[in-house]
Homo-oligomer: A and B are copies of this chain.
Amino acid sequence: MSTTRRGRPRGYDRAAALEQALVLFWDRGYEATSIAELTAAMGMGAPSLYAAFGSKRQLFDEVVRSYGRTYHAFMARALVEEPTLRRGVERLLREAASEYTRPDRPPGCLVISAAVNCSSPDVEQALRTLRASDVKAFEHLIKSATSAGELPSDTDPHSLALFTSVTLQGMAQQARDGATRTELEAVAALALTSWPWT
């Protein structure tokens, strides 16, 4: 295997092109983003796009994976790096208010908003599954924290996990509706008051 590849060199940076597609999908959603818009933003012709990413659907899947690794990772980080679950959720909600309204990115969350009204049910289901796994992860953490005495023993993990997801999804929607970081931070603070104390 030589380091130099044969044939005509590609005229684009694959990672940069993927990032452009990510931003576009994030902003407009899966279905409302056309191949024409994608090729224009990614700086390549349609055949190059299909050669590099397979299909619109496969490109979107790769975008979702990349999104999870970069823009969605702050959630797991907040939950892991804080000493208590409550502190973790507090930071998560506060950071979500910031992440969902950053001026250099599309508002809201790709996983929540990019495939809501989707003609192809499998794309919609793919993001649905991601959201469901997030709820499950919340529920698991809450259950552990309850067992550890960190939360009251009468805490309902499933309901509290769902409530947290509801808050995040609502915040993401409101961000797309134009809510500011400050507004969402106030919402996050209010939501946190629903969390039980030890």
Q: Of A49-57, A60-68, A114-122, A142-150, which binds chain B? A: A114-122
Would you call B190 and A160 a contact (CB within 8 A)? yes
Residues of B within 8 A of A113 (CB): 116-117
Instruction: Let me know if A165 is at the binding interface, CB within 8 A.
Output: yes
Interface bits A1-25 vs B (CB < 8 Å: 1, else 0): 0000000000000000000000000
**Which B residues touch A43, using CB under 8 A?**
none
One complex includes copies of this chain to the number of 2
Contacts of A72 in B (CB 8 A): none
Taking residues whose C-beta sits less than 8 angstroms from the other chain, chain A's interface range is 35 or more
Contacts of A191 in B (CB 8 A): 163, 166, 191, 194
Question: Quick one: which of A93-147 are within 8 Å of B by CB?
Answer: 112-119, 128, 131-132
A35 in contact (CB, < 8 A) = no
* A41 CB within 8 Å of chain B: no
A162 at the B interface (CB under 8 A): yes
Q: Tell me if A89 is interfacial: C-beta within 8 Å of chain B.
A: no
Q: Which residues of B contact A117 (CB under 8 A)?
A: 28-32, 113-118
Whether A154 sits at the interface, judged by CB under 8 Å, is no
Q: How many whole Å from A27's CB to the nearest CB in chain B?
A: 10
A173 at the interface (CB under 8 A from B): yes
The residue in chain B whose Cβ has the minimal distance to the Cβ of A160 is: B190
Judge whether A151 is part of the interface by a CB distance below 8 angstroms.
no
Q: A179 contacts the other chain (Cβ, under 8 Å)?
A: yes
Interface contact B162-A187, CB-CB below 8 Å: yes
The B-contacting residues of A in range 143-198, CB under 8 angstroms, are 156, 158-160, 162-163, 165-171, 173-174, 176-179, 183-184, 186-187, 189-191, 193-194
Docked Cα-Cα span, A171 to B168, in Å, equals: 11
13 A/B residue pairs, CB under 8 Å, sorted by A:
A28-B117, A32-B119, A114-B117, A116-B176, A117-B117, A162-B174, A162-B187, A163-B186, A163-B190, A166-B187, A167-B167, A193-B193, A193-B194
